[in-house]
Amino acid sequence: MMPTAHEVQHPLIQHHLAKLRDKTTPPDEFRRLIQRLASLLAYEATRDLSTQSVEIETPLARVTAQQLSQRIGLVPILRAGLGMVDPVLDLLPDAEVWHLGLYRDEATARPVEYYSKLPAHSPVDVALVLDPMLATGGSAIAALQALQRWGVPKLKVLAVIAAPEGISNVAEACPQAQVFVCAIDRELNSRKFIVPGLGDAGDRSFNTLP
């Protein structure tokens, strides 16, 4: 296990991940699989959220129950991260959604920021960075550093698949961040793509394969 990384082991994850990797899976099914896997990741990544006691009335009696007590922000990295937002919002309907636009310069494999919608004050308590793929870690690190500048105290990355290099880079640049992934793959190839991977998650999700 790599430092800071939680590789979530579950039969449902393995089942859906197999279909996600298959190059014959069409875009509509690919999107549904990303959503299912995002839900399973979010369930695991939110185990340590804080709660507070509240008094409620059931149809039969008054009872003390627990509700979430922290402000939670979802930060999808455009554009592939958009496919993970709705299933996580289903679990956390009061979460705030803040967008970061980053793309990888194919010549340098480094992230280029083209859009940011983070405010200058009042940071959330917990931020979940959403991106299906953690390859070099460049985009995730850029997002985490932006959230650090905003003042977010607790940072988590949710990715469907990751390369060992990406996890190591995130651990070095942002050691306080937690990373939750469905699978840690073998390596990055010479073009900085994850192997065996699943191809380009954005292109496969939005049917823009070249």
* Catalytic residue set: 104, 108, 200, 203
Name the residue type at position 47: R
DSSP 91-142: H-TT-EE--EEEEEETTTTEEEEEEE---SS---SEEEEE-SEESSSHHHHH
Cα separation of 166 and 160, whole Å? 13
Question: The tokens of 19 are what?
Answer: 């279909």
Q: Which residues pair with 6 in a beta bridge?
A: 180
Cα separation of 100 and 169, whole Å? 20
